[in-house]
Structure 1
Amino acid sequence: MGYGIRLRVWGEYACFTRPEMKVERVSYDVITPSAARGILEAIHWKPAIRWVIDRIHVVNPICFENIRRNEVESKASVKKASIYVTEERQQRASMVLKNVEYIIEAHFEMTEQRGAEDTPEKHYNVFLRRARQGQCFHRPYLGCREFQAHFELLEGGLVSYENVHPGVKDLGYMLLDQVFHVDTKGVTKEVVPHFFRARMVDSVIEVPKLEER
Protein backbone atom coordinates (compact mmCIF):
# COMPACT_ATOMS: atom_id res chain seq x y z
CA MET A 1 0.00 0.00 0.00
CA GLY A 2 1.22 3.49 -0.84
CA TYR A 3 1.10 6.66 1.22
CA GLY A 4 -2.32 7.07 2.82
CA ILE A 5 -4.37 10.23 3.40
CA ARG A 6 -7.67 11.17 5.04
CA LEU A 7 -9.76 13.97 3.57
CA ARG A 8 -12.97 15.43 4.94
CA VAL A 9 -15.35 16.64 2.23
CA TRP A 10 -18.74 18.27 2.58
CA GLY A 11 -21.31 20.30 0.70
CA GLU A 12 -24.88 21.54 0.67
CA TYR A 13 -26.01 19.29 -2.19
CA ALA A 14 -24.67 16.26 -4.06
CA CYS A 15 -25.84 14.00 -6.86
CA PHE A 16 -23.97 10.79 -7.68
CA THR A 17 -26.20 9.73 -10.55
CA ARG A 18 -27.31 6.13 -10.93
CA PRO A 19 -26.56 4.98 -14.51
CA GLU A 20 -29.82 3.02 -14.79
CA MET A 21 -31.82 6.27 -14.61
CA LYS A 22 -31.97 7.53 -18.20
CA VAL A 23 -33.91 10.80 -18.03
CA GLU A 24 -34.30 12.02 -14.47
CA ARG A 25 -31.24 12.18 -12.23
CA VAL A 26 -31.41 9.99 -9.11
CA SER A 27 -28.44 9.90 -6.76
CA TYR A 28 -26.87 6.92 -5.04
CA ASP A 29 -27.31 7.00 -1.26
CA VAL A 30 -23.66 7.99 -0.73
CA ILE A 31 -20.64 9.17 -2.67
CA THR A 32 -19.21 6.62 -5.10
CA PRO A 33 -15.52 5.61 -5.01
CA SER A 34 -15.18 7.02 -8.53
CA ALA A 35 -16.45 10.43 -7.39
CA ALA A 36 -14.20 10.31 -4.32
CA ARG A 37 -11.20 9.64 -6.55
CA GLY A 38 -12.19 12.61 -8.70
CA ILE A 39 -12.04 14.90 -5.67
CA LEU A 40 -8.51 13.75 -4.82
CA GLU A 41 -7.40 14.17 -8.44
CA ALA A 42 -8.75 17.73 -8.41
CA ILE A 43 -6.28 18.49 -5.61
CA HIS A 44 -3.26 16.63 -6.98
CA TRP A 45 -2.84 14.20 -9.84
CA LYS A 46 -0.06 13.30 -12.23
CA PRO A 47 0.31 10.41 -14.71
CA ALA A 48 2.89 8.95 -12.33
CA ILE A 49 0.32 8.21 -9.60
CA ARG A 50 -3.06 6.47 -9.33
CA TRP A 51 -5.42 7.16 -6.44
CA VAL A 52 -7.10 4.18 -4.74
CA ILE A 53 -10.05 4.65 -2.38
CA ASP A 54 -9.81 2.41 0.71
CA ARG A 55 -12.92 3.33 2.70
CA ILE A 56 -15.59 6.00 3.00
CA HIS A 57 -17.04 7.27 6.28
CA VAL A 58 -20.58 8.67 6.05
CA VAL A 59 -20.69 11.44 8.66
CA ASN A 60 -24.14 12.98 8.11
CA PRO A 61 -27.52 11.21 7.91
CA ILE A 62 -28.56 10.28 4.36
CA CYS A 63 -31.16 12.85 3.30
CA PHE A 64 -32.75 13.15 -0.16
CA GLU A 65 -34.47 16.16 -1.69
CA ASN A 66 -36.37 16.59 -4.96
CA ILE A 67 -35.35 19.60 -7.04
CA ARG A 68 -36.02 20.78 -10.59
CA ARG A 69 -33.22 22.16 -12.73
CA ASN A 70 -32.86 23.67 -16.19
CA GLU A 71 -30.60 21.64 -18.49
CA VAL A 72 -29.78 21.74 -22.19
CA GLU A 73 -30.66 18.83 -24.45
CA SER A 74 -27.36 18.51 -26.36
CA LYS A 75 -23.65 18.72 -25.68
CA ALA A 76 -21.05 20.93 -27.31
CA SER A 77 -18.87 19.09 -29.83
CA VAL A 78 -16.74 19.66 -32.91
CA LYS A 79 -19.84 19.35 -35.10
CA LYS A 80 -21.93 21.52 -32.79
CA ALA A 81 -19.80 24.26 -31.32
CA SER A 82 -22.71 26.56 -30.41
CA ILE A 83 -25.65 25.76 -28.17
CA TYR A 84 -28.63 28.11 -27.95
CA VAL A 85 -29.94 27.70 -24.43
CA THR A 86 -33.31 29.31 -25.13
CA GLU A 87 -34.00 26.72 -27.85
CA GLU A 88 -32.70 23.62 -26.07
CA ARG A 89 -33.59 24.28 -22.44
CA GLN A 90 -35.30 21.40 -20.65
CA GLN A 91 -36.53 21.23 -17.09
CA ARG A 92 -35.77 17.96 -15.36
CA ALA A 93 -36.42 16.62 -11.89
CA SER A 94 -33.52 15.37 -9.78
CA MET A 95 -33.40 13.35 -6.59
CA VAL A 96 -30.30 14.73 -4.87
CA LEU A 97 -28.60 14.40 -1.51
CA LYS A 98 -28.67 17.28 0.95
CA ASN A 99 -26.10 18.34 3.57
CA VAL A 100 -23.54 15.64 2.87
CA GLU A 101 -20.26 15.04 4.66
CA TYR A 102 -17.75 12.23 4.17
CA ILE A 103 -14.28 11.22 5.28
CA ILE A 104 -12.33 9.65 2.44
CA GLU A 105 -9.47 7.29 3.28
CA ALA A 106 -7.23 6.63 0.31
CA HIS A 107 -3.70 5.99 -0.89
CA PHE A 108 -1.90 6.34 -4.18
CA GLU A 109 0.20 3.87 -6.13
CA MET A 110 2.95 4.62 -8.61
CA THR A 111 2.20 3.85 -12.26
CA GLU A 112 4.32 2.75 -15.21
CA GLN A 113 4.45 6.38 -16.36
CA ARG A 114 6.57 7.47 -13.40
CA GLY A 115 9.80 9.24 -14.22
CA ALA A 116 13.14 9.27 -12.48
CA GLU A 117 12.09 12.33 -10.45
CA ASP A 118 8.78 10.81 -9.40
CA THR A 119 9.01 9.42 -5.87
CA PRO A 120 6.20 8.53 -3.43
CA GLU A 121 7.58 11.05 -0.93
CA LYS A 122 7.44 13.84 -3.51
CA HIS A 123 3.81 13.31 -4.51
CA TYR A 124 2.71 12.66 -0.93
CA ASN A 125 4.18 15.96 0.26
CA VAL A 126 2.74 17.85 -2.72
CA PHE A 127 -0.75 16.56 -1.91
CA LEU A 128 -0.38 17.41 1.80
CA ARG A 129 0.78 20.94 1.01
CA ARG A 130 -2.00 21.61 -1.47
CA ALA A 131 -4.73 20.10 0.73
CA ARG A 132 -3.58 22.06 3.79
CA GLN A 133 -3.74 25.31 1.82
CA GLY A 134 -7.03 24.51 0.09
CA GLN A 135 -5.41 24.47 -3.36
CA CYS A 136 -6.80 22.51 -6.30
CA PHE A 137 -6.37 22.34 -10.08
CA HIS A 138 -10.12 22.76 -10.49
CA ARG A 139 -12.86 23.06 -7.90
CA PRO A 140 -13.85 19.55 -6.78
CA TYR A 141 -17.53 18.77 -6.96
CA LEU A 142 -19.99 16.29 -5.49
CA GLY A 143 -21.21 14.41 -8.53
CA CYS A 144 -22.38 17.43 -10.54
CA ARG A 145 -20.24 20.47 -11.24
CA GLU A 146 -22.79 22.88 -9.76
CA PHE A 147 -22.51 21.09 -6.39
CA GLN A 148 -19.11 22.29 -5.19
CA ALA A 149 -17.22 20.32 -2.56
CA HIS A 150 -15.37 21.83 0.38
CA PHE A 151 -12.43 19.84 1.72
CA GLU A 152 -10.11 19.67 4.71
CA LEU A 153 -7.07 17.49 5.29
CA LEU A 154 -7.33 15.37 8.45
CA GLU A 155 -4.06 14.75 10.24
CA GLY A 156 -3.06 13.26 13.55
CA GLY A 157 -5.02 10.64 15.48
CA LEU A 158 -8.42 9.10 14.96
CA VAL A 159 -11.31 11.41 14.15
CA SER A 160 -14.38 10.86 16.30
CA TYR A 161 -17.86 11.49 14.93
CA GLU A 162 -21.34 10.26 15.72
CA ASN A 163 -22.30 6.90 14.23
CA VAL A 164 -25.44 8.07 12.41
CA HIS A 165 -25.95 4.74 10.61
CA PRO A 166 -25.42 1.95 13.17
CA GLY A 167 -25.56 -1.65 12.07
CA VAL A 168 -25.33 -2.99 8.52
CA LYS A 169 -27.03 -1.40 5.52
CA ASP A 170 -27.01 -2.92 2.05
CA LEU A 171 -26.65 -0.10 -0.49
CA GLY A 172 -27.01 -2.39 -3.50
CA TYR A 173 -24.74 -2.35 -6.52
CA MET A 174 -22.69 0.83 -6.86
CA LEU A 175 -20.26 2.18 -9.43
CA LEU A 176 -16.73 1.37 -8.31
CA ASP A 177 -14.78 2.95 -11.15
CA GLN A 178 -14.43 3.16 -14.91
CA VAL A 179 -11.54 1.67 -16.86
CA PHE A 180 -10.51 3.45 -20.06
CA HIS A 181 -9.10 1.31 -22.86
CA VAL A 182 -7.01 3.29 -25.35
CA ASP A 183 -5.34 2.44 -28.64
CA THR A 184 -1.67 2.84 -29.53
CA LYS A 185 -2.27 6.53 -30.30
CA GLY A 186 -3.75 7.22 -26.89
CA VAL A 187 -7.33 7.56 -28.17
CA THR A 188 -10.04 6.11 -25.94
CA LYS A 189 -11.70 3.17 -27.65
CA GLU A 190 -13.85 1.84 -24.85
CA VAL A 191 -14.95 2.79 -21.34
CA VAL A 192 -15.81 -0.18 -19.10
CA PRO A 193 -17.72 0.49 -15.86
CA HIS A 194 -17.08 -1.74 -12.84
CA PHE A 195 -19.59 -2.20 -10.00
CA PHE A 196 -19.49 -3.69 -6.50
CA ARG A 197 -22.02 -4.60 -3.82
CA ALA A 198 -21.74 -1.76 -1.31
CA ARG A 199 -22.35 -2.47 2.38
CA MET A 200 -22.23 0.23 5.04
CA VAL A 201 -21.25 -1.08 8.47
CA ASP A 202 -21.55 1.45 11.31
CA SER A 203 -21.35 4.35 8.81
CA VAL A 204 -18.24 2.96 7.05
CA ILE A 205 -18.01 1.50 3.54
CA GLU A 206 -15.01 -0.69 2.77
CA VAL A 207 -14.08 -0.25 -0.89
CA PRO A 208 -12.62 -3.27 -2.72
CA LYS A 209 -9.91 -2.99 -5.33
CA LEU A 210 -10.91 -3.48 -8.95
CA GLU A 211 -9.31 -6.92 -9.03
CA GLU A 212 -11.05 -7.94 -5.77
CA ARG A 213 -14.63 -6.88 -6.51
Structure 2
Amino acid sequence: MVWKVAHRNTIEFHVWGDYGLFSDVLTRASGEKCSYDIPTYEALKGITHSIYYKPTIVWKIDAVRIMNRIQTERKGIRPLKYGEGGNDLAYYTYLRQVSYQVRAHFEWNENHPELACDRNENKHHNIAKRMVERGGRRDIFLGTRECQGYVEPCVFGSGEGYYDNSGEIPYSFMYHGITYADEAVLPEDKGQMTVRFWKPVMQDGVIQFLPPEECTFKRHIKPMAIKKFGRDEGNFIGLDEFAGGEADELGE
Protein backbone atom coordinates (compact mmCIF):
# COMPACT_ATOMS: atom_id res chain seq x y z
CA MET A 1 0.00 0.00 0.00
CA VAL A 2 1.38 3.41 -1.01
CA TRP A 3 0.32 6.16 1.38
CA LYS A 4 -1.01 9.42 -0.05
CA VAL A 5 1.31 12.41 0.42
CA ALA A 6 -0.27 15.04 2.68
CA HIS A 7 2.35 17.80 2.32
CA ARG A 8 3.86 19.08 -0.91
CA ASN A 9 7.32 19.49 0.65
CA THR A 10 7.46 15.86 1.81
CA ILE A 11 10.56 13.68 1.54
CA GLU A 12 10.52 9.89 1.79
CA PHE A 13 13.57 7.76 2.45
CA HIS A 14 14.68 4.28 3.42
CA VAL A 15 17.21 4.10 6.27
CA TRP A 16 18.86 0.88 7.36
CA GLY A 17 21.84 -0.55 9.20
CA ASP A 18 23.23 -3.57 11.04
CA TYR A 19 22.34 -2.20 14.48
CA GLY A 20 20.20 0.48 16.13
CA LEU A 21 19.89 1.75 19.70
CA PHE A 22 16.89 3.97 20.42
CA SER A 23 16.71 4.58 24.14
CA ASP A 24 15.16 7.00 26.59
CA VAL A 25 17.48 10.00 26.88
CA LEU A 26 16.90 9.99 30.65
CA THR A 27 18.51 6.53 30.98
CA ARG A 28 21.52 7.17 28.75
CA ALA A 29 23.75 8.16 31.68
CA SER A 30 23.44 4.74 33.35
CA GLY A 31 25.76 1.83 32.69
CA GLU A 32 23.24 -0.41 30.94
CA LYS A 33 21.47 0.67 27.74
CA CYS A 34 18.50 -1.10 26.22
CA SER A 35 16.88 -0.08 22.95
CA TYR A 36 13.20 0.54 22.44
CA ASP A 37 11.60 -1.81 19.92
CA ILE A 38 10.90 1.10 17.59
CA PRO A 39 12.76 4.30 16.65
CA THR A 40 11.88 7.50 18.47
CA TYR A 41 10.66 10.69 16.82
CA GLU A 42 13.82 12.46 17.98
CA ALA A 43 16.14 9.84 16.46
CA LEU A 44 14.37 10.02 13.09
CA LYS A 45 14.47 13.81 13.23
CA GLY A 46 18.22 13.61 13.86
CA ILE A 47 18.61 11.37 10.81
CA THR A 48 16.62 13.88 8.75
CA HIS A 49 18.88 16.68 10.01
CA SER A 50 21.87 14.65 8.80
CA ILE A 51 20.27 14.51 5.37
CA TYR A 52 19.59 18.26 5.19
CA TYR A 53 19.08 20.99 7.78
CA LYS A 54 18.78 24.76 7.95
CA PRO A 55 17.60 26.82 10.97
CA THR A 56 15.05 28.36 8.60
CA ILE A 57 13.02 25.14 8.63
CA VAL A 58 11.69 22.66 11.19
CA TRP A 59 11.46 19.02 10.13
CA LYS A 60 8.31 17.16 11.18
CA ILE A 61 8.38 13.37 11.11
CA ASP A 62 5.01 12.16 9.86
CA ALA A 63 5.40 8.37 9.95
CA VAL A 64 7.80 5.43 10.04
CA ARG A 65 7.24 1.97 8.58
CA ILE A 66 9.01 -0.97 10.25
CA MET A 67 10.31 -3.15 7.40
CA ASN A 68 12.21 -5.95 9.20
CA ARG A 69 11.32 -8.18 12.11
CA ILE A 70 12.12 -6.57 15.47
CA GLN A 71 15.01 -8.53 16.99
CA THR A 72 17.68 -7.70 19.55
CA GLU A 73 21.29 -8.59 20.31
CA ARG A 74 23.08 -8.07 23.61
CA LYS A 75 26.72 -7.00 23.62
CA GLY A 76 29.31 -6.62 26.35
CA ILE A 77 30.73 -3.08 26.27
CA ARG A 78 33.55 -1.43 28.21
CA PRO A 79 32.44 2.21 28.60
CA LEU A 80 34.50 4.87 30.33
CA LYS A 81 33.94 5.42 34.04
CA TYR A 82 32.75 9.00 34.35
CA GLY A 83 34.90 11.01 36.75
CA GLU A 84 36.97 8.00 37.76
CA GLY A 85 39.03 7.09 34.72
CA GLY A 86 39.48 3.61 33.31
CA ASN A 87 36.72 1.40 31.95
CA ASP A 88 33.66 -0.32 33.30
CA LEU A 89 31.76 -3.39 32.08
CA ALA A 90 28.20 -3.02 30.82
CA TYR A 91 25.72 -4.75 28.54
CA TYR A 92 23.97 -2.87 25.73
CA THR A 93 20.91 -4.33 24.02
CA TYR A 94 20.80 -3.32 20.34
CA LEU A 95 18.24 -3.83 17.61
CA ARG A 96 19.58 -6.02 14.79
CA GLN A 97 19.22 -5.58 11.02
CA VAL A 98 17.03 -2.49 11.27
CA SER A 99 15.23 -1.14 8.21
CA TYR A 100 12.70 1.71 8.12
CA GLN A 101 10.79 3.78 5.60
CA VAL A 102 10.39 7.37 6.82
CA ARG A 103 8.13 10.19 5.68
CA ALA A 104 8.81 13.78 6.78
CA HIS A 105 7.99 17.34 5.76
CA PHE A 106 9.24 20.76 6.84
CA GLU A 107 7.60 23.92 8.12
CA TRP A 108 9.01 27.41 8.55
CA ASN A 109 10.61 28.15 11.90
CA GLU A 110 8.57 31.14 13.07
CA ASN A 111 10.95 31.63 16.01
CA HIS A 112 13.55 32.92 13.54
CA PRO A 113 11.96 35.93 11.81
CA GLU A 114 15.48 37.13 10.96
CA LEU A 115 15.64 34.23 8.44
CA ALA A 116 12.41 35.11 6.64
CA CYS A 117 14.44 36.03 3.53
CA ASP A 118 15.54 32.38 3.29
CA ARG A 119 11.99 30.97 3.16
CA ASN A 120 12.08 29.55 -0.34
CA GLU A 121 10.10 26.30 -0.24
CA ASN A 122 11.17 25.00 -3.64
CA LYS A 123 14.83 25.61 -2.88
CA HIS A 124 14.83 23.73 0.42
CA HIS A 125 12.62 20.90 -0.88
CA ASN A 126 14.74 20.34 -3.98
CA ILE A 127 17.99 20.36 -2.02
CA ALA A 128 16.52 17.95 0.57
CA LYS A 129 15.46 15.50 -2.16
CA ARG A 130 18.91 15.65 -3.76
CA MET A 131 20.56 15.05 -0.41
CA VAL A 132 18.37 11.94 0.09
CA GLU A 133 19.60 10.66 -3.29
CA ARG A 134 23.20 11.25 -2.18
CA GLY A 135 22.81 9.50 1.16
CA GLY A 136 22.72 12.65 3.30
CA ARG A 137 25.08 15.52 3.99
CA ARG A 138 26.47 14.10 7.22
CA ASP A 139 26.99 10.64 8.68
CA ILE A 140 23.79 8.77 9.51
CA PHE A 141 23.46 7.19 12.95
CA LEU A 142 20.65 4.89 14.11
CA GLY A 143 20.09 6.27 17.58
CA THR A 144 23.72 6.35 18.68
CA ARG A 145 27.10 6.95 17.07
CA GLU A 146 28.29 3.34 17.01
CA CYS A 147 25.23 2.35 14.92
CA GLN A 148 26.06 3.46 11.38
CA GLY A 149 23.10 3.93 9.04
CA TYR A 150 22.55 4.42 5.31
CA VAL A 151 19.91 6.36 3.41
CA GLU A 152 18.36 6.06 -0.03
CA PRO A 153 15.13 7.37 -1.66
CA CYS A 154 11.96 5.27 -1.48
CA VAL A 155 8.21 5.46 -1.94
CA PHE A 156 6.62 5.21 1.50
CA GLY A 157 4.49 2.05 1.66
CA SER A 158 6.16 0.30 -1.26
CA GLY A 159 7.64 -3.17 -0.97
CA GLU A 160 6.89 -5.89 1.55
CA GLY A 161 7.24 -5.24 5.27
CA TYR A 162 7.42 -7.86 8.02
CA TYR A 163 4.47 -6.36 9.93
CA ASP A 164 2.13 -5.78 6.99
CA ASN A 165 -1.42 -6.86 7.92
CA SER A 166 -0.32 -7.54 11.50
CA GLY A 167 -3.05 -5.33 12.96
CA GLU A 168 -2.67 -2.95 15.87
CA ILE A 169 0.28 -3.21 18.26
CA PRO A 170 0.16 -0.64 21.11
CA TYR A 171 3.27 0.44 23.00
CA SER A 172 3.54 1.80 26.52
CA PHE A 173 4.69 5.22 27.72
CA MET A 174 7.75 6.20 25.64
CA TYR A 175 10.12 9.06 24.98
CA HIS A 176 9.02 11.17 21.99
CA GLY A 177 11.66 13.90 21.79
CA ILE A 178 12.90 17.27 23.01
CA THR A 179 11.47 20.65 22.07
CA TYR A 180 14.21 23.27 22.12
CA ALA A 181 13.36 26.92 22.65
CA ASP A 182 13.94 27.86 19.02
CA GLU A 183 11.37 25.28 17.84
CA ALA A 184 8.70 25.86 20.50
CA VAL A 185 5.19 26.47 19.17
CA LEU A 186 3.03 26.60 22.30
CA PRO A 187 3.24 29.68 24.56
CA GLU A 188 4.01 27.58 27.66
CA ASP A 189 7.03 26.04 25.90
CA LYS A 190 8.57 29.34 24.82
CA GLY A 191 11.97 29.94 26.40
CA GLN A 192 12.16 26.37 27.70
CA MET A 193 13.79 23.05 26.92
CA THR A 194 10.91 20.58 27.03
CA VAL A 195 11.02 16.78 27.01
CA ARG A 196 8.00 15.01 25.49
CA PHE A 197 6.47 11.55 25.96
CA TRP A 198 3.64 9.65 24.28
CA LYS A 199 2.02 6.22 23.79
CA PRO A 200 2.64 5.07 20.21
CA VAL A 201 0.55 2.55 18.30
CA MET A 202 1.83 0.54 15.33
CA GLN A 203 -0.84 -0.27 12.74
CA ASP A 204 0.19 -2.84 10.13
CA GLY A 205 3.82 -1.91 10.63
CA VAL A 206 3.29 1.86 10.40
CA ILE A 207 3.59 4.34 13.27
CA GLN A 208 2.10 7.78 12.65
CA PHE A 209 3.72 10.32 14.97
CA LEU A 210 1.98 12.99 16.95
CA PRO A 211 3.33 16.46 16.12
CA PRO A 212 5.50 17.73 19.01
CA GLU A 213 2.99 20.44 19.92
CA GLU A 214 0.25 17.80 20.36
CA CYS A 215 2.14 15.73 22.94
CA THR A 216 0.35 16.28 26.25
CA PHE A 217 2.86 14.35 28.37
CA LYS A 218 5.80 16.71 28.77
CA ARG A 219 8.11 18.35 31.27
CA HIS A 220 10.10 21.58 31.18
CA ILE A 221 13.75 20.77 31.87
CA LYS A 222 15.34 24.21 32.06
CA PRO A 223 15.05 27.75 30.67
CA MET A 224 16.66 28.19 27.27
CA ALA A 225 17.36 31.22 25.10
CA ILE A 226 16.84 31.29 21.34
CA LYS A 227 20.01 31.55 19.31
CA LYS A 228 19.78 34.31 16.71
CA PHE A 229 21.07 33.95 13.15
CA GLY A 230 21.94 36.42 10.43
CA ARG A 231 24.73 38.33 8.79
CA ASP A 232 25.02 40.64 11.78
CA GLU A 233 25.51 37.62 14.04
CA GLY A 234 28.18 36.23 11.73
CA ASN A 235 26.66 32.73 11.69
CA PHE A 236 24.30 32.64 8.69
CA ILE A 237 25.06 33.91 5.21
CA GLY A 238 22.12 32.55 3.21
CA LEU A 239 22.80 31.74 -0.43
CA ASP A 240 26.37 33.02 -0.14
CA GLU A 241 27.26 29.73 1.54
CA PHE A 242 27.02 28.04 -1.87
CA ALA A 243 29.42 30.43 -3.56
CA GLY A 244 32.52 28.94 -5.09
CA GLY A 245 31.35 25.75 -6.75
CA GLU A 246 28.61 24.17 -4.65
CA ALA A 247 26.06 26.59 -6.06
CA ASP A 248 26.53 25.07 -9.51
CA GLU A 249 26.42 21.54 -8.08
CA LEU A 250 23.14 22.15 -6.28
CA GLY A 251 21.62 24.15 -9.11
CA GLU A 252 21.21 27.31 -7.01
Please confirm whether the aligned pair reaches a TM-score higher than 0.5, indicating the same fold: yes
What corresponds to 2:243 in structure 1? none
1:66 corresponds to which residue?
74
**What TM-score, normalized by structure 2, do the two folds share?**
0.71
Superposed counterparts of 1:136-155, under 5 Å: 136=137, 138-155=138-155
How many residues were matched structurally? Answer: 195
> Which blocks of at least 5 consecutive residues in structure 1 are unaligned?
76-83, 183-188
Contact 1:2–1:109, Cα closer than 8 Å, also in 2: no
2:179, 2:212 within 8 Å by CA — same for their partners in 1? no
Matches within 5 A, 1:63-102: 63-74=71-82, 87-102=85-100
Q: Which runs of 5+ in 2 are unaligned?
A: 1-6, 183-190, 216-252
For normalisation by structure 1, the TM-score amounts to 0.84
Secondary structure, counterpart of 1:172 in structure 2: coil
Residue 17 of structure 2: aligned partner: 11
Q: Deviations over 1:152-208 (max 9, x none)?
A: 0125x85121342611111212222201247xxxxxx85321011011111000101
Question: Match of 2:208?
Answer: 206
Contact 1:47 1:111 in 2 (8 A): yes
For the 8 Å contact 1:59–1:164, the answer to whether it is kept is yes
Secondary structure in 1 matching 2:130: helix
For residues 24 and 136 of structure 2, the distance between their equivalents in structure 1, rounded to whole angstroms, comes to: 30
Could you tell me how far 1:20 is from its partner in structure 2?
5.7
Tell whether the 8 Å contact from 2:12 to 2:103 is kept in structure 1 after alignment: yes
Distance 1:68 1:52, change over 3 A: same
Measure the CA separation in 1 of the matches of 2:60 and 2:180: 16
Aligned-partner Cα distance in 2 for 1:117–1:180: 21
Over the matched positions of the two proteins, sequence identity in percent amounts to: 27
Q: Where do 4+ consecutive residues of structure 1 move more than 6 Å?
A: none
Q: Which has the higher contact order (CA 8 A, sep 6+)?
A: 1
Match of 1:186 in 2: none
Preserved CA contact (<8 Å) 2:64 2:206: yes
How far 1:212 moved relative to its partner?
Answer: 2.1
More helix by share: 2
**Which residue in the other structure is 1:134 paired with?**
135
